[in-house]
Structure 1
Amino acid sequence: MAMSAQDSDIQEAARLWAIRVQEPAFDDWTGFTEWLERDPSHLAAYEAALDDEAWAVALFSAAPAVEPDALPVRRWWLAGSAAAAAAVAVVGGWMVLDRDAPAQQIATAPGEHRTIELADGSRLALNGATRVTIDPDTPRQVVLEHGEARFDVRHDASDPFVVVSGGTRLVDAGTVFNVVQDGDALEVAVAEGAVIYQPGPGEVRLAPGDTLTRQGKSAKPLLGKASPQTVGSWATGELQYDNPALDQVARDLTRSIGRPVRSAGGAGRLRFTGTLVLRGTPEEVLARAGPLLGVEFIADGEGWTMSPAHGPPR
């Protein structure tokens, strides 16, 4: 079947974005994300551009020699040079960072999940629309620029692991923990071990099941509780809940499926305890979730509106 003019334009735009994000000075991540979210076909076209081995090789032709199994490049991009890009091997949903590579910004598209193995054996999982900066010269520090990440840290008391998010320092004390950076708002939840929030005279130590939320950089952090097994559960393909408001569930679904989910008609005040499975298309995920949450998901432009159904959540 011949390609339509619209399809050709989308393919050309996808290739242009793939070229632009490799430029050292690229900083239009907002524009890139908005383009991806504008139409589901955009992400598919972008991935197809990177999956085109001959074209990808041409794109990275300025890079040093790359091992054959590092190509074709699939579903990732770096805000850096082609040489930096070539220093990351991609296998399935995993990225393994070369300790000799320069500092890199790694981003996921809306709805995309990525797991990164660091040189020290620690791992971090990135939820959709997330960006981190990793410098192999300081392998025990990760900057979460925005989005959501779950950290599974190899503890080393002599060399603490540090996450910097929104100017805030979070120091590992033998930990599995989850961090969300949304604008100036910060959320931290601990599944195992402990995290020290802003080490120093006013530090806060978070134990398993502890949560900390802060609505702005100057806002007072608020402490709460969560079931440790629910912390960062999205990284395993599930969203596990222990009685949060559905406003929180809507935000989690938005990050995980890559399409906006909004609450309306009081649905956001309902509460839910249970598990939502993220397997399948966004439509399949929401079709399963609706009856469990006691809501209806109504298509609304590029996303869905979540409204109360008849009867309370089960």
Structure 2
Amino acid sequence: MTMRADHLEIEEAARLWAIRAQDPAFAEWEGFTEWLERDPAHLAAYEAALADADWAAGLMALAPTPVQAPVATSRPRWWFGAGAAIAAGIAAVGGWAVLDREAPAQQIATAPGEHRTIDLADGSQIALNGATRVTIDPDTPRHVVLDQGEARFAVRHDASKPFVVMAGTTRLLDAGTVFNVVRDGEALEVAVAEGAVIYQPGSREVRLAPGDTLKRAGSGAAPVVGRANPQTIGSWASGELQYDNASLEQVARDLTRSLGRPVRTADGVGKLPISGTLRLEGSPEEVLARAGPFLGVRFVKNGEGWTMSPAHGAPR
């Protein structure tokens, strides 16, 4: 099938779904959602079908009175003219999500070990690590709240509309940037791969350049600025963990977030340094089987997780 024919087939399917979905008796929501999730082009075609005035006018004449959904949601059961309001405003499609700009502020969360990417309308992108939650208001998508966990932000710079990340009461202002933020309660870590981030804009602001890191142990603690290899910052988002003289304690924390299972270090080994790249492909057991020889440790099962212990002396 040619690309043009394939495109026409998608357009026709989108029109059919749009017509059928407005019927109050329509019950194929699971199949409809599965079709939308199969290919990002399906969502765009569906929204284009809804916006097509040539046939939409005819649908309006035939459209029944909207049937209200259950009390749990205020959205009408038929979605004509409302955009693709999938899953209460968030369509999760193969690990990425699209915001419904007509919905109220949405919380997007990942389960332990799950990764997800959110594409914003301005071209910016947010990658969520495991056990992470962000809140985004579609009306102000360049103002994101990191409620918990770890997120990598690739921001399209717009001087007239600054991109702001709130982590508790801490404000991070983008200056055209790729940066990583970890929030664990009131503890905060920020690392900049590209561009710049301004920590707490104001009289006591800290400007972070590529390779700069900032760590704060708690809300009242003073921020500590350090350095890292920019290429290693947020590497988890591309399916690997890259280290340049990092501690095994840091590796354990990263594995915990990425695998969704607790990984700890045995006494006396947490501060030992490591450099190199660890791939995250496969099950937790497969990842750790590769990590053991690389880190010079063995992973001992401990309840739901593992403990790192030296395999043959100090890790290399």
| Structures share fold, TM-score greater than 0.5 | yes
Contact 1:133/1:143, CA 8 A, preserved across alignment = yes
Corresponding residue to 1:213 among 192, 210, 215: 215
1:146 aligns with 2:148: yes
> For the aligned residues, what is the CA RMSD?
2.3
Q: Which residue of 2 aligns with 1:106?
A: 108
Contact 2:192/2:213, CA 8 A, preserved across alignment = yes
Which segments of 5 or more consecutive residues in structure 1 lack a partner in the other structure? 1-60, 75-79
| Structure-to-structure mapping, 1:176-195, within 5 angstroms | 176-195=178-197
TM-score when scaled to structure 2?
0.74
The 3-state SS of whatever aligns with 1:70 is helix
1:86 aligns with 2:88: yes
The CA deviation at 1:176 is 0.2
Contact 1:170/1:199, CA 8 A, preserved across alignment = yes
Q: 2: CA distance between counterparts of 1:154 and 1:186?
A: 23
Name whichever of 171-180 and 99-108 sits farther off: 99-108
Contact 2:216/2:224, CA 8 A, preserved across alignment = yes
Q: Which residue of 2 aligns with 1:204?
A: 206
Q: 1: CA distance between counterparts of 2:258 and 2:96?
A: 17
The 3-state SS of whatever aligns with 2:123 is coil
1:296 aligns with 2:298: yes
Q: 2: CA distance between counterparts of 1:66 and 1:100?
A: 20
Q: Which residue of 2 aligns with 1:234?
A: 236
Report how many aligned residue pairs link the two structures: 248
| Structure-to-structure mapping, 1:282-293, within 5 angstroms | 282-293=284-295
Moved over 4 A (4+): 64-69, 80-84
Contact 1:171/1:199, CA 8 A, preserved across alignment = yes
The 3-state SS of whatever aligns with 1:105 is strand
Contact 2:145/2:166, CA 8 A, preserved across alignment = yes
Contact 2:180/2:233, CA 8 A, preserved across alignment = yes
Q: Which residue of 1 aligns with 2:33?
A: 70
Q: Which residue of 1 aligns with 2:58?
A: none
Contact 1:73/1:90, CA 8 A, preserved across alignment = no
| Structure-to-structure mapping, 1:170-181, within 5 angstroms | 170-181=172-183
Choose 1 or 2 for highest CA Rg.
Answer: 2
Structure 2 letter corresponding to 1:182: D
- Partner deviation per Cα, 1:179-224 (whole Å, 9 max, x = no partner): 0000110000000000000000000000000000000001000000
Q: 2: CA distance between counterparts of 1:234 and 1:257?
A: 11
Structure 2 letter corresponding to 1:251: R
Contact 1:141/1:162, CA 8 A, preserved across alignment = yes
Q: Which residue of 2 aligns with 1:262?
A: 264
Q: Which residue of 2 aligns with 1:272?
A: 274
The CA deviation at 1:71 is 3.6
Structure 2 letter corresponding to 1:154: R
Q: 2: CA distance between counterparts of 1:68 and 1:206?
A: 47
The verdict on how the C-alpha distance between 1:176 and 1:81 changes in structure 2, with shifts beyond 3 A counting, is: farther
- Partner deviation per Cα, 1:13-62 (whole Å, 9 max, x = no partner): xxxxxxxxxxxxxxxxxxxxxxxxxxxxxxxxxxxxxxxxxxxxxxxx9x
The 3-state SS of whatever aligns with 2:249 is helix
- Partner deviation per Cα, 1:81-105 (whole Å, 9 max, x = no partner): 4857332222211111121221111
Identity between Structure 1 and Structure 2 (%): 73
Q: 1: CA distance between counterparts of 2:105 and 2:199?
A: 25
